[in-house]
């Protein structure tokens, strides 16, 4: 399913991030609190009255060495390019500013559905003063408080009212995978090299993300079809914005959402950067299968028999939460080990869909608790009664216990490790949910 996109725009300090966090907290879903996964979000999924959407916080996108007006203009243009509905946020305490007028003028010309949110309307007087914002020409202003949550229901009602109908992707049995990573790590070179190896391109078709081209090919050995998701840049006047770090992260996140398996591409010469961690963390949280591919390995000059292991240890240290992801060292230029990528994509796709019988899971649970008895917290011992699988992609398990609060992260990690030791879940995250036995 391709979700419609909602973008939050506005000048600095109007509370975009506060409203962003308030909206995504409305989701009735389990949020995994995994150490090492960044929480600095600019893109997430939201839900209101049964309607799902993706939401962008343009407050996270900044342009270095630009004037304030250019920065605001850039944010608004990115939102227009990406979004189906744009929420313009203004400050009730400050009133209408020249910067607000700049943003409103750009949005008005876009012909996109606009919702005007007047934030920081924390008391009755401030809520009564919102009518000055009619002068922006964007329709009825909605008084909200991102901090206190007041007015958010009316705002979300208006947002979902303006959302387009959710579209379904055309059904196919291809395995979808994408290459993600910083600019210039060789993602496009890997795509071209793999297609050059296969030489059996079936078609090129417009993708469901704007400007994306999906390339399909068939494995010559077993006839399995694949779709490589390649995300292009912004259409218009985009080069200055294309180079901003957070905007490229945004593009990567949208590619991840459409993928079954994600290939995280690192530069063998330059190593790991903070942006790599952000994108990889999102792939993990989204429950996608992950491969870590170190490209340009041929260009690493000072290598010996220990270099590959040292780099592997370096990756494991920096990406602790991706300890399940296989690491391969490739060269798009020299066409080294490229066949491993497609083979691993197939393997991980199977592991994502793997189902384990409850009887086998409970045998594992008995053995695990015998190896490491459940911990005692505040004189109360955790008791584990039953383990069952409730979902795939990613494999998700429910463990019934006497008290979910006693199911500490460290013991959850122990159970996950036992699952990985017993069954092949290479390349896929595993989720465990603790529930109180009724």
| Spatial distance between the Cα atoms of 425 and 259, rounded to a whole number of angstroms | 18
Which pair of structure tokens corresponds to residue 31?
């949020």
Alpha helices in 59-142 (DSSP H): 68-82, 98-110, 124-128
Q: Measured in whole angstroms, how far is the alpha carbon of residue 130 from the centre of its chain? A: 35
Closest CA to 349 of 253, 242, 262: 262
* Euclidean distance between CA atoms 406 and 59, whole angstroms: 38
Length in residues, the chain: 438
Strand-pairing partners, residue 114, are: 86
Instruction: Give dist(CA 249, CA 233) in Å, integer.
Output: 12
Quote the CA–CA distance of 112 and 83 in Å, as a whole number: 8
> Nearest Cα to 72, choosing from 109, 101, 40?
101
* Direct distance between the N- and C-terminal alpha carbons of the chain, in angstroms, rounded to an integer: 35
Which residues contribute to the annotated binding site for GTP?
10-17, 57-61, 119-122, 181-188, 230-234, 295-298
Nearest-angstrom CA–CA distance, 211 and 234: 8
SS (H, E, C) 124-181: HHHHHHHHHHHHHCCCCEEECCCCCCCCHHHHHHHHHHHCCCCECCCCCCCEEEEEEC
Which residues sit in the known binding site? Answer: 10-17, 57-61, 119-122, 181-188, 230-234, 295-298
């Amino acid at each position: 399913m391709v979700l419609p996109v909602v973008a939050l725009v506005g000048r600095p300090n109007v509370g975009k991030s506060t409203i962003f966090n308030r909206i995504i907290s409305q989701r009735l879903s389990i949020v995994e609190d995994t150490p090492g996964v960044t929480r600095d979000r600019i893109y997430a999924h939201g839900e209101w009255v049964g309607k799902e959407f993706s939401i962008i916080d343009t407050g996270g996108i900044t342009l270095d060495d630009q004037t304030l007006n250019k920065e605001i203009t850039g944010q608004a243009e990115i939102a227009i390019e990406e979004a189906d509905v744009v929420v313009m946020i203004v400050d009730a305490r400050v009133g209408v500013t020249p910067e607000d007028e700049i943003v409103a003028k750009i949005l008005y010309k876009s012909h996109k559905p606009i919702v005007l949110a007047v934030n920081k309307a924390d008391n009755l007087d401030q809520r009564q003063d919102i009518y000055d914002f009619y002068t922006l020409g964007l329709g009825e202003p909605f008084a909200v408080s991102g901090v206190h949550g007041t007015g958010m229901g009316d705002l979300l009602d208006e947002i979902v009212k303006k959302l387009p109908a959710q579209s379904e992707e055309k059904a196919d049995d291809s395995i979808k995978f994408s290459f993600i990573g910083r600019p210039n790590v060789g993602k496009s070179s890997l795509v071209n090299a793999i297609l050059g190896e296969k030489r059996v391109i079936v078609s090129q078709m417009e993708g469901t993300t704007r400007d994306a081209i999906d390339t399909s090919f068939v494995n010559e050995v077993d006839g399995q079809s694949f779709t490589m998701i390649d995300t292009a840049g912004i259409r218009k006047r985009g080069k200055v914005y294309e180079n901003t770090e957070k905007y490229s992260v945004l593009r990567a996140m949208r590619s991840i959402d459409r993928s079954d398996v994600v290939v995280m591409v690192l530069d063998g010469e330059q190593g790991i950067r903070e942006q790599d961690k952000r994108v990889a963390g999102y792939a993990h949280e989204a429950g996608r299968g992950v491969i870590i591919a170190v490209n340009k390995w041929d260009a690493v000059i000072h290598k010996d028999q220990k270099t590959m292991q040292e780099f592997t240890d370096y990756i494991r240290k920096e990406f602790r939460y991706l300890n399940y992801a296989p690491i391969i060292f490739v060269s798009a230029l020299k066409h080294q080990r490229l066949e491993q990528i497609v083979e691993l994509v197939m393997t991980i796709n199977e592991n994502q869909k793997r189902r384990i019988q409850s009887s086998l899971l409970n045998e594992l649970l008995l053995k695990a608790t015998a190896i490491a008895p459940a911990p005692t917290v505040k004189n109360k011992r955790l008791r584990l009664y039953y383990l069952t699988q409730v979902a795939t992609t990613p494999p998700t398990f429910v463990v019934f216990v006497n008290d979910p609060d006693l199911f500490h992260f460290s013991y959850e990690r122990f159970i996950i490790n036992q699952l990985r030791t017993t069954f092949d879940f290479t390349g896929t995250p595993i989720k465990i949910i603790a529930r109180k036995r009724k």
